Structure 1
Amino acid sequence: MPSLQQAATALGWRGQLITEVAVLGQRVSALVRVREDVHRWRMENGWPPEPDPSWFRSWFEPELHDQIPVPAVDLVGVLVTESRAGRALRSCGTLMTLAPCAVVLPSSQTSDPWPLVELDFYGIGVVTIDEEGDASVAISPEDRSQEFGGSVFGRWLLELLYHRVMTSVLSPPR
């Protein structure tokens, strides 16, 4: 997915691009940065990634609260590919509560100003990809995650992304 990497680069996002992440009924891409010190500590102390959502049910059992590992990745941003600007708000709406979210659109979809004004109002970024595959930032995304606070879902997503980084980037299959 060179256009997604180019979109992340155009936004100034640095880290590992994880594609095809199933989140809230759709497939998105996430850019994460590994927290090397935390990753090292977790590996040395037997805390591998916990991508199974049922594991997080233990968070609601008070006797297990002291056994939650520190997140080993930071979510830099979420990229959602759409073919039309009109669907971008629905695609990014919930995701913008977790990290900056940008929709990747064909450059031909930016001629109508209304969807772009609405996306800008909500802090959703827009990156256009032209016919040659070059990325350009039409609207910079805002980080609104602090307005919404953390969630169990967001914490689980960090574990899922950590798992994906571990299996595809840090320890690629042989």
Structure 2
Amino acid sequence: MSSERRGGLLIPTDGESAEELAVQVLGWQGSLVKDITLFGSRVSVLARVDEEAHAFRQQTNTPPITDRASVALWEWPELTAPPSVVALSAVMATGARWQQGMKAVSGFAGFSSTVLLLTQDTPAPTSCLADAERYGVWVVRAGSSDTVVEHQGRVGPVATARPTTVTRWTEELVYARLIEDGLVEASPAR
């Protein structure tokens, strides 16, 4: 990925995706999983990988567990679950209309930062920005000539969010996609 800054704007130079441009303009770090379906919404996820936890999971040959019931059993007895490899940094979505993208990301407020990606050249409508303010959603416009942060949202999950079985299951789903996409090395077969 390469881009060039001009007057505070990020100009794409290699045909980068809107998600890649958003990550760059926001200055965030992590591995980008594009087009994953979580809870019925098609989103992209920016995730931080805990290299130490991943190394442990490789040594113990513990692949991602994507069965929700199995993840739920990790709570009993306590402290028997393998370490979490992935922490969600952001959930991003686009839509044919901004309302569709907002609907897709607003449900992830308890997991991480949320980003609405607008792939248009015109500024976001005021109604979009009002909803973004209400839900703490970042709005990034990736037009044909520049990428601009239209609204600064909340960093991280909402303050009242607590980790749950669903949070851990979602992390395992993203971990599985990171391996599937070749962004993280799979555990060696025994």
TM-score if structure 1 supplies the norm length? Answer: 0.86
Which of residues 22, 29, 34 is equivalent to 1:19? 34
Are 2:158 and 1:145 aligned? yes
Unmatched runs of 5 consecutive residues or more in structure 2: 1-15
1:78 matched to which residue of 2? 91
Distance 2:124 2:44 in 1: 25
Counterpart residue type for residue 80 of structure 2: Q
SS at match of 1:79: strand
Unmatched runs of 5 consecutive residues or more in structure 1: none
SS at match of 1:116: helix
Q: CA RMSD in A?
A: 2.0
Q: Do the aligned residues in 2 keep the contact of 1:56 with 1:152 (CA within 8 Å)?
A: yes
1:92 matched to which residue of 2? 105
2:67 matched to which residue of 1? 52
Task: Show CA shifts across 1:74-126 (max 9, x none).
Answer: 11111111232333432222111110000101335635212212212221010
SS at match of 1:27: strand
2:117 matched to which residue of 1? 104
Higher helix share: 1
1:152 to partner: Cα distance: 1.3
Distance 2:180 2:148 in 1: 31
Q: Do the aligned residues in 1 keep the contact of 2:64 with 2:176 (CA within 8 Å)?
A: yes
1:131 matched to which residue of 2? 144
TM-score if structure 2 supplies the norm length? Answer: 0.79
SS at match of 1:145: coil
Distance 1:146 1:162 in 2: 24
Q: Do the aligned residues in 2 keep the contact of 1:83 with 1:106 (CA within 8 Å)?
A: no
